[in-house]
């Protein structure tokens, strides 16, 4: 018998949303940087598996059509739209809709005839102090299009759900700099 070491090891640390920065980026040089104190962002990578039967028995298995990544986020808010003042920043709602102070943003989708999209980039920095051997991680969800926005005044939260026009998120780890 051969012993195979555990590949997935528990590092003893949960991702803290307070150590994560979310960046909404357009197809040009515009971006909105959001530090979330309370909230969450989730994504689900999907795939379709087709089981082909031969006289009632599984004969063949193959991948079906590609499916986009589902994305959802929720966080506390102060305003739904940005100030009318010149040079004011857009809100996350403005950024995902491409309206208000983000009305001049370019879609992140190179097909400018497609519905407006933004890239969502998460930067996770796991510790307060820079430490050797501990990496940062950047996760990108490209071409996100919102499908629902839910506003809760009592909880002061905005929830968004939609899809990113990708099969899987892009994740890159890199060393922290001092």
Q: pLDDT tens digits, residue range 83-104? A: 667 678 898 999 999 999 999 9
Helix (H, G, I), strand (E, B) or coil at 132: coil
Q: Which tops the pLDDT comparison, 167 or 134?
A: 167
Share of the chain above pLDDT 90, in %: 57
Residue 146, CA atoms < 13 Å, CB-side half-sphere: 18
pLDDT at position 75, please? 86
pLDDT at position 129, please? 59
Supply the pTM of this predicted model.
0.83
Report the distance separating Cα 70 and Cα 152, nearest Å. Answer: 21
Nearest-5° Cα angle at 55, 48 to 67: 5
pLDDT at position 84, please? 67
For residue 178, what pLDDT band results from cuts at 50, 70 and 90? low
Q: Does residue 15 register a pLDDT over 80?
A: no
pLDDT (mean) for 30-46: 89
Please say whether the beta carbons of 118 and 26 come within 8 A: yes
Q: Does residue 11 register a pLDDT over 80?
A: no
Report the distance separating Cα 55 and Cα 123, nearest Å. Answer: 51
Q: Which tops the pLDDT comparison, 69 or 75?
A: 69
Q: In whole numbers, what is the pLDDT of the chain averaged over residues?
A: 86
Indicate the range of 116-120, 121-125, 137-141 predicted with least confidence: 121-125
For residue 60, what pLDDT band results from cuts at 50, 70 and 90? very high
Q: Does residue 105 register a pLDDT over 70?
A: yes
Domains of the chain in sequence order: 17-175 (2.30.110)
Please say whether the beta carbons of 92 and 34 come within 8 A: yes
pLDDT at position 113, please? 94
Q: Does residue 54 register a pLDDT over 60?
A: yes
Tokens, residue 87: 């040079």
pLDDT at position 9, please? 47
- Unique residue bearing structure tokens 């089981």: 51
């Amino acid at each position: 018998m051969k012993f195979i070491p555990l590949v997935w090891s528990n590092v003893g640390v949960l991702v803290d949303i307070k150590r994560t920065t979310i960046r909404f980026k357009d197809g040009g040089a515009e971006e909105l940087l959001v530090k979330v104190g309370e909230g969450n962002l989730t994504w689900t990578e999907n795939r379709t598996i087709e089981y082909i039967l031969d006289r009632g028995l599984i004969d063949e298995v193959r991948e079906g059509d590609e499916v986009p990544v589902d994305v959802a986020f929720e966080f506390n808010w102060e305003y739904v739209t940005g100030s009318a003042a010149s040079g004011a920043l857009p809100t996350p709602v403005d950024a995902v809709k491409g309206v208000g102070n983000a009305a001049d943003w370019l879609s992140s989708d190179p097909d400018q005839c497609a519905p407006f999209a933004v890239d969502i980039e998460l930067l996770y920095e796991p510790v307060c102090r820079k430490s050797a051997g501990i990496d940062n991680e950047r996760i990108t969800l490209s071409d996100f299009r919102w499908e629902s926005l839910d506003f809760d005044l009592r909880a002061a939260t905005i929830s968004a759900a939609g899809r990113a026009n990708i099969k899987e998120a892009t994740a890159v780890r890199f060393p922290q700099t001092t």
